[in-house]
């Protein structure tokens, strides 16, 4: 007799692994697929905003994350090409932790909960059947089929036959204008602060993580760096060349071998889509501009919203139509504000001279900076 899983989660990042763990914690037979190996370095700000701590506690993961000895972060400094930096206090303590360590911790937690994790596994097709859904995979050349009752998409903008509608696939294929990069560095004293440097063609963030290292994450306009060295470290060096303070800041730092990663294209204009044949989590549902620093928090929140609805569906308490309606409404309600303000800030920072005007306005308007921070953040929720 063919085994039928309750749920298949496609994508092993933060949203996917947390979703799989939550379902397994509630007794559901869950399988998790990811096409790459774990752990691995990913392009990410590696910044857990203050509001994530409540979510981690709800998930039973807070102590596991603390065990990684993340850096404590209390403020942000914004550096334009000219003028003094703007210091903004965070509304609580944020954490700096690498995706390499965080993803490994989340996978271990999912395994302990009973999730079957299949990494280095490509999902080739997702096909509805009378009994649920048939998923075809390939792992190290071996093709295998899985029958499941429900499917969760947490695979970013990856297009998988049968997982998205044609309209969604067409939207994802639109050429992006940005390139994302990251590398870890040593030799930098951050002292509880995230630093953001803005320059023509992009911005770069320095964020302290565990082990005394610093994560350097960069978002660049592809056309603005056409003539630069195409290696990751070469592009970071080219970015430093456009901001004298940044160049000075990194002059004595050393890159950590093997921590470099890149992603292209980065599509910041992709419209939010909470449901497309199946529920979508994290980056599969929406793309928050990286400068907001709340992407990991949104991944956690989307899983926390979806997991109880998935359980109710599997118990027969709600229909698939009701699951789609309730999840879509909740995602719209929770993420509408941060997404709107995040994209507005991203657009304004791309206009020449406007960042300088914005910085002056913030300096002379008490509380304006704090309001901007709050506008791009998720609201605290009782669980």
Contact status, residue 215 vs residue 296, Cβ threshold 8 Å: no
Q: What does the pLDDT look like over 115-144, one tens digit per residue? A: 999 999 999 999 999 889 999 999 999 999
pLDDT at 285: 81
Which structure tokens are listed for 322? 């009701």
Paired tokens of 202 = 């992009």
Burial (Cβ within 10 Å: 0-12, 13-18, ≥19) of residue 262: middle
* pLDDT, position 254: 98
Q: What are the structural domains, with CATH classification, of the chain?
A: 4-40+100-164+273-376 (3.50.50.60)
pLDDT, tens digit, 9 for 90 and up, residues 179-197: 999 999 999 999 899 999 9
Of 90, 95, 110, the residue nearest 34 (C-alpha): 110
Provide the mean pLDDT of the chain.
88
How does pLDDT run across 349-378, given as a tens digit for each residue? Answer: 666 666 666 666 666 666 666 666 665 556
Instruction: Dig out the tokens for 63 from the structure.
Output: 């102590």
What confidence tens digit (pLDDT) does each residue in 19-73 have? Answer: 999 999 999 999 999 999 999 999 999 999 988 989 999 999 999 999 999 999 9
pTM for the full predicted model: 0.90
Give the pLDDT band of residue 172 (cuts 50, 70, 90).
very low
């Amino acid at each position: 007799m063919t085994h039928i899983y309750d749920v298949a989660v496609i994508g092993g990042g933060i949203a996917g692994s947390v979703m799989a763990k939550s379902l397994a914690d509630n007794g559901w037979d869950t399988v998790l697929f990811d096409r790459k190996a774990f752990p691995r370095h990913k392009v990410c700000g590696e910044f857990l905003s203050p509001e994530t701590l409540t979510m981690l506690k709800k998930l039973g993961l807070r102590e596991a994350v603390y065990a990684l000895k993340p850096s404590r972060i209390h403020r942000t400094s914004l550096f334009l090409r000219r003028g003094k930096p703007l210091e903004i206090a965070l509304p609580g303590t944020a954490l700096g932790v690498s995706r390499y360590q965080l993803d490994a911790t989340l996978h271990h937690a999912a395994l302990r909960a009973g999730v079957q994790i299949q990494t280095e596994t490509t999902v080739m097709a997702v096909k509805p059947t009378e009994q649920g859904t048939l998923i075809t995979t390939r792992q190290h050349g071996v093709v295998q089929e899985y029958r499941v009752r429900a499917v969760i998409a947490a695979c970013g903008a990856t297009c998988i036959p049968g997982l998205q509608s044609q309209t969604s696939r067409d939207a994802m294929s639109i050429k992006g204008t940005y390139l994302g990069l990251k590398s870890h560095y040593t030799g930098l004293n951050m002292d509880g602060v995230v630093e953001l440097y803005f320059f023509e063609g992009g911005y770069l963030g320095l964020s302290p993580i565990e082990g005394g290292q610093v994560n350097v994450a960069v978002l660049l306009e592809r056309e603005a760096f056409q003539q630069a060295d195409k290696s990751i470290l070469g592009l970071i060096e080219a970015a430093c060349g456009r901001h004298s303070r940044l160049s000075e800041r990194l002059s004595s730092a050393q890159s950590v071998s093997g921590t470099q990663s890149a992603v292209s294209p980065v599509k910041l204009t992709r419209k939010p889509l909470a449901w497309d044949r199946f529920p979508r989590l994290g980056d599969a549902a929406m793309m928050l501009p990286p400068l907001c620093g709340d992407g990991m928090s949104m991944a956690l929140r989307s899983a926390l919203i979806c997991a109880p609805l998935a359980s109710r569906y599997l118990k027969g308490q709600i229909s698939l139509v009701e699951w789609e309606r309730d999840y879509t409404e909740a995602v719209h309600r929770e993420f509408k504000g941060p997404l709107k303000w995040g994209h507005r800030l991203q657009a304004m920072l791309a206009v020449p001279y406007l960042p300088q005007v914005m910085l002056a306005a913030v300096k002379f308007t008490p509380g304006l900076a704090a309001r901007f921070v709050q506008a791009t953040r998720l609201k605290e929720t009782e669980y």
